[in-house]
């Protein structure tokens, strides 16, 4: 499904990097594709070659703690400070000064924060689905107040959740990786950002026949992901959620008065019309953060680049080639 990886040592992690290079002269910037939870670099397998064919050296790492990459035991070492530094290290290791950093889901937190934490390494940012994610309040407490103690962010902090995810990785991926066929998915059965949807992870314990939607992965794809998570478990991915409070501390250090300066690099958001977790309405404020910002809408659920690789690639390549 992917080329053989090479490995890059960063500060505290050793990352497996899957890449494609253009046959004609390369552009001055490379492209780094950052996946989210619970994914792998393989979630970008439909994007690697098309981006390379457009003249870009493109890299998709298994992010810190995922797949063939390793990471520290301390969950606080998975904050945006460390994960953006990982990306900057990949860019420098490949011989580039700057990159366009593309992120989906939690990888979108990395891309949004690159201009603030690694400004010398970023030429532009593209994010799929993910809101900016800045809060002046403690986000763990904010989710508890808004959605109650069963919300998925709270449950992801627990060993009970980790053990449940680890028990049968292939079943776990059949739970997550679904497209809406009219009755929602396990990420939301109402299509709303409400306490019921935010407690979605508890449906994992239900009979599989009750799960709405259809699995978007074939048997070989499911096995690839399941094998990767069977080897190292879900802890590395969950550590990204267990670092959310540390992310808030980093943001508070960066923006002590709550004022976020506008970033000078061009930015693109690909917003998914049918994504209840990263609902498009949660991204309406992004214009205030970038001098050059565009938003495109695509008719997918949460797993954008897997549900509609052709549509995703068309948007990515038009923007990349126009700007770089």
- Specify whether 279 is catalytic: no
294 CB-side CA count, 13 A: 13
Angle at 60 between CA 72 and CA 10, to 5 degrees: 35
- CB burial of 266-304 (b: ≥16 within 10 Å; e: otherwise) equals bbbbbbbebbbbbbbebbeebeebbeebbebebebbbbb
Structure tokens at 91: 């860019």
Strands 267-272 and 122-128: what pairing? parallel
- 151 within 8 A of 199, measured Cβ to Cβ: yes
Task: Check if 302 is active-site.
Answer: yes
d(CA 308, CA 316): 12
Q: Which DSSP symbol is given to 87?
A: H
How many Cα atoms within 13 Å fall on the side-chain side of residue 246? Answer: 15
- Per DSSP (E only), the strands in 156-228 are 178-179, 214-215
Task: Point out the catalytic residue in the list 35, 155, 279, 302.
Answer: 302
Residues 6 or more apart whose CB falls under 8 angstroms from that of 206 comprise none
Query: 62, 70, 105, 180: which is the annotated catalytic residue?
Result: 105
DSSP string, 29-58: SEEEEE--TT--GGGGTTTHHHHHHTT--E
- In 41-186, DSSP assigns E strands to 58-61, 99-104, 122-128, 178-179
Annotated active-site positions, please? 105, 302
């Amino acid at each position: 499904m992917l080329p053989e990886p090479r490995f890059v040592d960063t500060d505290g992690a050793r990352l497996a990097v899957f890449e494609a290079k253009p046959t004609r002269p390369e552009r001055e910037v490379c492209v780094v594709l950052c996946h989210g939870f619970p994914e792998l670099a393989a979630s970008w397998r439909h994007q690697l070659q098309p981006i390379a064919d457009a003249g870009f050296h493109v890299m998709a790492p298994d992010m810190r703690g995922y797949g063939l990459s390793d990471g520290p035991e301390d969950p606080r070492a998975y904050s945006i400070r460390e994960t953006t530094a990982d990306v900057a290290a990949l860019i420098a290791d490949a011989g580039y000064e700057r990159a366009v950093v593309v992120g989906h889901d939690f990888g979108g937190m990395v891309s949004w924060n690159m201009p603030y934490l690694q400004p010398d390494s970023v030429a532009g940012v593209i994010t799929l689905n993910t809101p900016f994610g800045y809060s002046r309040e403690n986000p763990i407490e904010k989710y508890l107040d808004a959605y109650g103690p069963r919300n998925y962010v709270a449950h992801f902090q627990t060993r009970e959740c980790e053990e449940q995810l680890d028990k049968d990785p292939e079943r776990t991926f059949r739970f997550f990786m679904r497209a809406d066929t009219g009755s929602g998915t396990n990420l939301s059965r109402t299509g709303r950002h409400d306490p019921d949807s935010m407690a979605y992870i508890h449906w994992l314990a239900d009979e599989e026949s009750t799960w709405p939607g259809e699995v978007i992965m074939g048997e070989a794809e499911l096995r690839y992901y399941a094998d990767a998570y069977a080897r190292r478990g879900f802890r590395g991915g969950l550590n990204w959620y267990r670092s959310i409070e540390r992310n808030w501390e980093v943001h508070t250090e960066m923006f002590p008065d709550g004022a976020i300066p506008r970033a000078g690099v061009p930015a693109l958001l690909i917003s998914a019309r049918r994504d209840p977790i990263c609902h498009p309405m949660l991204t309406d404020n992004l214009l205030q953060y970038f001098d050059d910002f565009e938003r495109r809408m695509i008719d997918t659920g949460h797993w954008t680049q897997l549900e509609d690789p052709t549509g995703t690639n068309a948007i990515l390549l038009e923007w990349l080639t126009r700007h770089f």
